[in-house]
Structure 1
């Protein structure tokens, strides 16, 4: 499961993805997800919420919250969405220091540390490759090249960086929308669709609310809704179960 930084900021705080959530907020929100699922969950940890010392604490808090990994990016703070103009990145050695701090701080060797580089928008493609190799040398488990601009760049990056790779297939950004199969053929083993479900649900919610305001009833939408039973099944909640009754009666 992937937990989007933009998703947390947009959906829970009504804020843009510019680094406005604190580390403790991200840990708390991501922890809810990690504890609700039975498969590994990784989270967008932005810039690590400060310098190397802050990164180290971030890793430990995410581990404590049940996360299986995170990615940390090389943008300067305050960060911006990876697919908008105006980004700036930290010096290579500063990011190397953050990665080393993250690796040293983790207590579970299986906690995945993914290094994200936003250098494609700031420098050029060769810088993305150079930084990726340096980040791997510093101990990163995987590389996330943000906002590559063509299928050829995704292919060439995978050919030049032999490591576990993550591709971001966000909509309306700098990258073409490639399928998981296409990216897997290039060599990517992780593909995220960070805001896809959110965008679909937000558009549908807007359409519903406009119709509700106009007509004053939700009756025509009931067949498009998740039923109460479906929700309870998803939550593994049985109102009649003895365990739930016992909790209520305490």
Structure 2
């Protein structure tokens, strides 16, 4: 089974699919190690980590596909890429899907904001016309080689057009070939319930700590509300930033690093996550000479 087929199966399964937002091979590896069945590339986190800039259409399609490929190569679980707005019009969206599929992604997010887009939990968003947005989804669906490659059509209509716009756009995107509709920026459990009731296909939401997401919303609740997938785009980056800030403060206060053990992954575990065991096995196989056999001259 391809990773795309596996991701689609997880989305269509009755159990909620929880996808941590990752931004590099280490965060992706940790998510897989923790038992998550799939991961979501977070465009906002990737932009922040690699550029030091916010989610404001500053990353090119080639760069995003390349970073996605590195994440894909680090894990065995399906990886959803972040295709932003398709990096242009419907023609750009067509080639974007092909680039992400070549990168090994199992699916892609495509959203209906104008360029430059912004984080879905910030104010000031604007949408492209519905017909233009649906054309992008249709182009994306036509571009995929694997028919199970997931097209996750994100709509930011809730902040601009209300729930009626969410439902109208969501069903139009499904009709255009989307696998799932991602309703961005939900602020209440009732909004989630309305979206699931009105959209005729799998519905995804996200939870952003400190954003507009409902407070203390559990995975169990989301499953009971009928959500197919929830992404957690910010939590790993926020946790990493918090941990680094705490470590830096305590180093200055404690005059060293001796008491940071509660914050640190053990040294050997960190190298194992990076694949050092495989390197050591290859060294043993190819670099250690057989007993009594000298190295051959090269």
With 74-83 and 148-157 compared, the bigger mean Cα shift is at 148-157
With 211-220 and 60-69 compared, the bigger mean Cα shift is at 211-220
The corresponding residue for 2:101 is 63
Is residue 113 from structure 1 mapped to residue 115 from structure 2 by the alignment?
no
Deviation at 1:246, TM superposition (A): 6.3
The corresponding residue for 2:60 is 22
The corresponding residue for 2:134 is 96
The corresponding residue for 1:241 is 280
Distance 1:122 1:247, change over 3 A: farther
- Of 249, 252, 261, 1:213 maps to 252
Deviation at 1:232, TM superposition (A): 2.6
Alpha-carbon distance between aligned partners in 2 of 1:149 and 1:238, rounded to the nearest angstrom: 45
The corresponding residue for 2:5 is none
- Of 267, 272, 276, 1:228 maps to 267
Number of residue equivalences: 250
The corresponding residue for 1:181 is 220
**5+ residue gaps, structure 1:** none
Alpha-carbon distance between aligned partners in 1 of 2:113 and 2:243, rounded to the nearest angstrom: 33
The corresponding residue for 1:7 is 45
For the 8 Å contact 1:238–1:244, the answer to whether it is kept is: no
Matches within 5 A, 1:47-62: 47-62=85-100
Q: Deviations over 1:104-155 (max 9, x none)?
A: 1111111100100001111211110110011111111100010122100101
| RMSD over equivalenced CA pairs, Å | 1.8
Alpha-carbon distance between aligned partners in 2 of 1:120 and 1:137, rounded to the nearest angstrom: 19
Deviation at 1:13, TM superposition (A): 1.3
Distance 1:137 1:239, change over 3 A: closer
Distance 1:239 1:131, change over 3 A: closer
TM-score using structure 2 length: 0.80
Secondary structure of residue in 2 paired with 1:124: helix
The corresponding residue for 1:127 is 165
For the 8 Å contact 2:195–2:203, the answer to whether it is kept is: no
TM-score using structure 1 length: 0.95
Secondary structure of residue in 2 paired with 1:148: coil
**5+ residue gaps, structure 2:** 1-38, 289-297
Higher RCO (Cα < 8 Å, 6 or more apart): 2
Higher Rg: 2
